[in-house]
Amino acid sequence: MTVYRTRKGIPFFHDKTESEFQKDVYERYDEMVIRQSALHLADEFWYKYPFQSVIDFAEKHYPLERENNILELGCGVGRWIASLAQKYPKSNCWGIDYSYQMLKRAKEYWVDGKEITIDLSKRGLGVETVIGKKISNLNFGLAKAENLPFDDNSQDLILSSFLIDRLADPEKGLTEMFRVLNAGGKLIVVTPLNFDNAAHWKLYYPPSQIAILLEKIGFEILAWKEDIVVDEPLDGHGNNLHWNCLGFVVGKNRCM
Ligand SMILES: C[S@@+](CC[C@H](N)C(=O)[O-])C[C@H]1O[C@@H](n2cnc3c(N)ncnc32)[C@H](O)[C@@H]1O
C-alpha cells in the first residue's frame, strides 16, 4: 500500500489532512496522549496494570507458533502489541493507529528506548519518569482500521481493544480485519460497546447482534465473554471509569 509520507519514522498509509488532524480528539496531546501514557506506560501510578483483565482474557488464545505476523489496531501508545513483540521475538509486529500523536509516543517508548516524563500533577498524582525499550521486531504506522496496508490473508493474529465502538462503520472495520487475517489465524477484540454513533447502540445491542454480524462476515466464534471489567483510573483520589466490556476471539476457517 502507498506510503504518503513519513514523520519521525512513522509511515502514513492514510493521507491524513489538516482538517482530519483538527477533528481527531486522539491527536490532543494533553488530554489523550498523557492519559494513555499514564494508563499503559506507568503502572507505578496505580500499583497495577489497569488493563490486566484484557490481557487475562486474551493470552489464553495466543498462538503456539513462534514466527507470526501480529497486528494491533487502534494500538494507542502500543503496550499490547509491544508485549506480543517481546513474547514472540521472531514475529513481525505492527501497531496501527489513526493518531500520529499516539504513534509518536508508542515509537519513542517501545522502539527508540527514550526516557519519558508523565506529569499527572493536575490529577493529584505527581510526575513519573519511565525508560523505554528498544524492540526491533515492532513497527508503528498510521492507517484506518477500515483500510489496512496489509495483503489479504497476511496476519496470524490481530488484536484490538477499545476500538470497534469508535469506528464510523464497525462492520467495515471487522470486514477489513477478516480480509487481512490468515486462514487459521485469530482476531481478539475487547470493547466496551460505548458507541460514538447513536444508531450503533441499537444496531449492535444486545451483543448477540455482534455475534450474528461476525458470522455473516465469515468468522467462526471461538470464545465469547460479556463481563470483562476494566476500571480506568482517573486521579489520585481513586475515581475511575468502570467499563463493562465484551471480549471475543474469532477465527478464519482454513478451508475458506
Ligand atoms: C479509546 S483509544 C484505545 C487505545 C488502546 N487500544 C486502549 O485499549 O487503551 C482508541 C484508539 O483508537 C484509535 N482509533 C480511532 N479510530 C481509529 C481508526 N478508524 N483506525 C485506527 N485507529 C483508530 C485512536 O487514535 C486511539 O488511539
Q: How many residues does the chain have?
A: 256
> What's the pLDDT band for 74 if we cut at 50, 70, 90?
very high
The alpha carbon of 255 and the centre of ligand 1 are apart by a number of angstroms equal to: 32
| Residue 146, domain extent | 5-251
Rg (CA), the chain: 18
The alpha carbon of 222 and the centre of ligand 1 are apart by a number of angstroms equal to: 24
| Model pLDDT for residues 80-98, shown as the tens digit of each residue | 999 999 999 999 999 999 9
**Residue 9 included in any domain:** yes
pLDDT, average across residues 218-228: 98
pLDDT, average across residues 3-11: 97
pLDDT at 248 over 90: yes
Residue nearest to atom 3 of ligand 1 (CA): 162
Residue nearest to atom 4 of ligand 1 (CA): 76
Report the predicted TM-score, pTM, of the whole model to 2 decimal places: 0.97
Cα 55–Cα 59–Cα 62 angle in degrees, nearest 5? 140
pLDDT in the model for residue 1: 78
Q: How many domains does the chain have?
A: 1
77 lines ligand 1 (CB under 6 A): no
CATH number of the domain bearing residue 45 = 3.40.50.150
User: How far, in Å, CA of 176 to CA of 153, rounded?
Assistant: 11
pLDDT in the model for residue 15: 97
pLDDT at 4 over 60: yes
Strands 240-251 and 220-233: antiparallel
95 lines ligand 1 (CB under 6 A): no
Q: Using an 8 Å Cβ cutoff, are 237 and 205 in contact?
A: no
User: How far, in Å, CA of 167 to CA of 214, rounded?
Assistant: 16
The alpha carbon of 164 and the centre of ligand 1 are apart by a number of angstroms equal to: 8
**Residue 256 included in any domain:** no
pLDDT, average across residues 29-50: 94
**Residue 156 included in any domain:** yes
pLDDT at 256 over 60: no
The alpha carbon of 97 and the centre of ligand 1 are apart by a number of angstroms equal to: 6
Q: Taking the mean position of all CA atoms in its chain, how far away is CA 1?
A: 21
Helix (H, G, I), strand (E, B) or coil at 73: strand
For 115, residues 6+ apart whose C-beta sits below 8 A from its C-beta are 129, 130, 131, 132
**Residue 88 included in any domain:** yes
> What's the pLDDT band for 32 if we cut at 50, 70, 90?
very high
